[in-house]
Amino acid sequence: MKHRAATAGWLSVICAGLGQLYNRQYVKGLSFILVYAAGIYAIAAKLTPHLKGIVTLGEQGQHLVKVGKIYKNVPGDHSIFMMIYGVLAILVVLLFLLFYVLNIRDAVVVGRRKQSGSELRVLNSSVFPWLLLSVPMIGVLFFTIMPIVFTSLIAFTNYASPNHIPPKNLVDWVGFATFDKLFNMNVWSDTFVGVLSWTIVWAILATVTCYFGGILVALLINQQGIRFKGIWRMLFIIPYAIPQFVSLLIMKNLLNEKFGPINQYFRYFGMEGLPWLNDPFWAKVSVIVVNMWIGIPVSMILVMGILTTIPKDLYEAADVDGATAGAKFRNITMPYILFATAPILITQFVGNINNFNVIFLLTGGNPATMKYNNAGETDLLVTWLYKLTLDFNQYNIAAAVSILIFLFIAAAAIVMFRRTRSFNEEDMIQ
Amino acid sequence: MKPRLLFSYALLALIAVACIYPALWTVLSSFRVGNSLFSDHFIPTAWTLDHYRDLFRERADRSIPYANWYWNTLKVATASMVLGTLIQLLTAYSISRFRFKGRKAMMMMILILGMFPGFLSIMAVFIILNTIDLLDSIWALVLVYSAGAALGMFVAKGFFDTIPRSLEEAARIDGASHMSIFMRIILPLSRPIITYISLTTFAGAWVDFIFARAILRTPENWTLAVGLWSIIDSYNSTEFTLFAAGCVLVAVPITLLFMYTQRFLVDGLTAGASKG
């Protein structure tokens, strides 16, 4: 009886389910054997071509074949479909391996328990949460994880127009050539460096202006002696309440160089009016100002929430010590706000790096420029990759750019990770 | 009045004008006779409701199926709201309430994936939908919106964490199952968070442009965001008053909803803070 667990384990290594049968769990054992057999059959018979497919990505694209007297277009291998099926096949294989390992573990654990003669617990409360989580996780798997895996794969191929678009042509693995192009080939690297530097400048300016603008507005309303605080606050929340795409499209019209009302007012006062969206410099100014219009209300709400949480006794103590209004502001209010909002700064910075809407809907990345390849003066990395995908079919470059953005975000996420209250202090409330 | 206050009021008034002006201008433009962006007067000299009627009229010389767009948007937003809220609540509930193997790893994964903006992998989503032949369908849009809903579960989890566990333990002693605890105890207590999540997912689907433009191809299937964008993009400023009317109809329901809930959210925030 000493070797019961080991025997069960080894039996399960030979064939999943045998160990369970040996442990006298007949239903479990039989179903494990069935899953095992089905898995082996599926992998051997159905999945192998797909697994091979993801390696070769097809041997022949669409081609002409002579049938009788005429040439006919015959569909060839579709590299991208092969890649998708390949990824799915790998997923199935991984799931199968997981099942196999768990099966061995189960056999050993149950065997050991039988050995010591302890009760078999029904692990109900450990199965139920996974049951609840299964549907959400399938969604995340197919529409978040799969796309990420897939994007990473595409970055290492030459999937791009005009020469490598299935079904007409094949796509091939090219290793790091795409990244090499992005960093070293002038046409691409100039664009990449240009767009990247504007993205960083933009993210810093957009975050700083909205952050301090929000603090300023909140303090302005919260001053002693200002009346109708509620009404001011409500008025200032309006930009936040209007759907972003609507207000941005409206702004685009407001700033129209020829017919827009803003320039109309300029002319009314005898000035020329400015090329708000058509000049590289002014377009950049416009997106930042419009972004302030959209972003300041959010910071304002946050800061106003924080202002109410500052303990009153701090101010009372300061009064006793004879502090001036300025000193109280410098030594109590500001440190408090800065401390409480510091984590938000990081989120907003990351958010601004990916601030697709403001750029795409307002300027569309324009004004166009000869310096860049498929990008305009105000394009951010995200809008550039959107255009590369939908308008120019440069999938591999787009994928490489998204991987780079993702690496940056993952770094920020790990910094954020330990600061998230919901993560670290979850059991403190109860 | 002190000069400081006077200056503050002036500044506040200036900001208020900046906040209201675009909205007011759009509303007024939507009632203006004519169709151009340019106008000599801020307040229209002649008023009309024609543009609103025009939105719902079929015309051969242009393709602006506004009624279709509105209906599509409504369908997408409602369906994503129901599915997304359900998924998010289930995820948050199981992570908040159960201590199971792989929980920490799961939370870490959700946190990191949640930081990843979905549209970065838009190209892959596009290709996958193309493979399963779901491109150009509003249900694909619903699928994409709600599939990622689990990643936004931290707010709801934070809320569930604050519901005392003794309530459930009492119910469990009385013999309640997992499901009936969730349905009869947790859900009724979570009305505020359910309202919050439904509203944000509804609004999120209502206003999304990125995925809608990538996935929906034919004008009849577009949502409002894509449709209005295309009016500006293809008709430039020649159909401006029509566009303004369209904007008003899109923005009014969602703006009212937001103003209403905003008050409730901000009030709740400050009330909690002053009690503490």
Q: Is the pLDDT of residue B84 over 90?
A: yes
SS3 A383: helix
Q: Is the pLDDT of residue B276 over 60?
A: no
Average pLDDT over residues B221-243: 83
Q: How many helices (DSSP H) and strands (DSSP E) are in chain A?
A: 20, 2
Q: Which residues of B touch A357 (CB under 8 A)?
A: 209-210
Of A373, A394, A98, A353, the residue nearest A200 (C-alpha): A353
Instruction: Encode pLDDT of B107-126 as tens digits.
Output: 888 877 877 777 778 888 88
Q: So what's the pLDDT on residue B235?
A: 67
Angle at A152 between CA A149 and CA A156, to 5 degrees: 135
Average pLDDT over residues B137-153: 89
Q: So what's the pLDDT on residue B117?
A: 75
Distance CA A430, CA A424 (A): 13
Q: So what's the pLDDT on residue B275?
A: 33
Would you call A250 and B22 a contact, using CB atoms and an 8 Å cutoff?
yes
Q: So what's the pLDDT on residue A282?
A: 92
Instruction: Encode pLDDT of A104-131 as tens digits.
Output: 888 888 888 877 766 555 555 567 788 8
Query: For each of chain A's 430 residues, which pLDDT tens digit applies?
Result: 557 788 888 888 888 888 888 888 888 888 889 989 998 888 888 888 888 888 888 777 777 777 777 787 777 788 888 888 888 888 889 889 988 998 888 888 888 887 776 655 555 556 778 888 888 888 888 888 888 888 889 999 888 888 888 777 888 888 888 899 888 888 888 899 999 999 999 999 999 999 999 999 999 998 888 888 888 988 898 888 888 899 999 999 888 888 888 888 888 888 887 888 888 899 999 999 999 999 998 888 888 888 888 888 888 899 898 888 888 888 888 888 887 777 778 778 888 988 898 999 998 888 888 888 888 889 999 999 889 888 888 889 999 998 898 888 778 767 766 665 545 555 444 3
Q: Which residues of B touch A297 (CB under 8 A)?
A: 19
Average pLDDT over residues B221-229: 91
Residues 6+ apart with CB under 8 A from B20: A235, A238
Residues 6+ apart with CB under 8 A from A148: A406, B116, B121, B124
Would you call B247 and A244 a contact, using CB atoms and an 8 Å cutoff?
no
In DSSP notation, B154-179 reads: HHHHHHHHTS-HHHHHHHHHTT--HH
Q: Is the pLDDT of residue B75 over 90?
A: yes
Separation in Å, CA of A235 to nearest CA in chain B: 6
Mean of per-residue pLDDT scores for chain B: 83
Would you call B87 and A136 a contact, using CB atoms and an 8 Å cutoff?
yes
Would you call A360 and B106 a contact, using CB atoms and an 8 Å cutoff?
no
Dihedral of CA atoms A41, A42, A47, A48 in degrees, nearest 10, equals 0
Q: For a pLDDT cut of 90, what percent of chain B falls above it?
A: 21
B22 touches chain A (CB under 8 A): yes
Q: So what's the pLDDT on residue A2?
A: 57
Would you call B22 and A254 a contact, using CB atoms and an 8 Å cutoff?
yes
Of A307, A242, A236, A419, the residue nearest B269 (C-alpha): A307
Would you call B125 and A143 a contact, using CB atoms and an 8 Å cutoff?
yes
In DSSP notation, A123-167 reads: -HHHHHHHHHHHHHHHHHIIIIIHHHHHHHHHTTB---TTTS-TT
Would you call A143 and B158 a contact, using CB atoms and an 8 Å cutoff?
no
Instruction: Encode pLDDT of A47-74 as tens digits.
Output: 888 888 888 887 777 777 777 777 877 7
Q: So what's the pLDDT on residue B73?
A: 94
Band (B267; pLDDT cuts 50, 70, 90): very low
B247 touches chain A (CB under 8 A): yes
Separation in Å, CA of B149 to nearest CA in chain A: 8
Of A248, A229, A316, the residue nearest A287 (C-alpha): A248
Separation in Å, CA of B53 to nearest CA in chain A: 20
B51 touches chain A (CB under 8 A): no
Distances (CA, A) of A372 to A187, A193, A296, A390, B43: 7, 10, 32, 17, 43
A176, two tokens:
């790091």
The CATH number corresponding to A178-424 among 1.10.3720.10, 2.40.110.10, 2.40.30.160, 3.40.50.2300 equals: 1.10.3720.10
In DSSP notation, B6-51 reads: HHHHHHHHHHHHHHHHHHHHHHHHHTBSSS-S--S-SS-SSB--HH
Q: So what's the pLDDT on residue A429?
A: 40
Instruction: Encode pLDDT of B22-70 as tens digits.
Output: 999 999 989 988 877 777 777 788 888 888 888 888 776 777 888 999 9
Would you call A144 and B121 a contact, using CB atoms and an 8 Å cutoff?
yes
ipTM: 0.84
Which residue of chain A comes nearest to B155, CA vs CA? A422
Would you call A422 and B164 a contact, using CB atoms and an 8 Å cutoff?
no
Average pLDDT over residues B73-86: 94
Average pLDDT over residues B216-229: 90
Q: So what's the pLDDT on residue A283?
A: 92
Q: Which residues of B touch A409 (CB under 8 A)?
A: 115-117
- List of domains in chain B: 66-238 (1.10.3720.10)
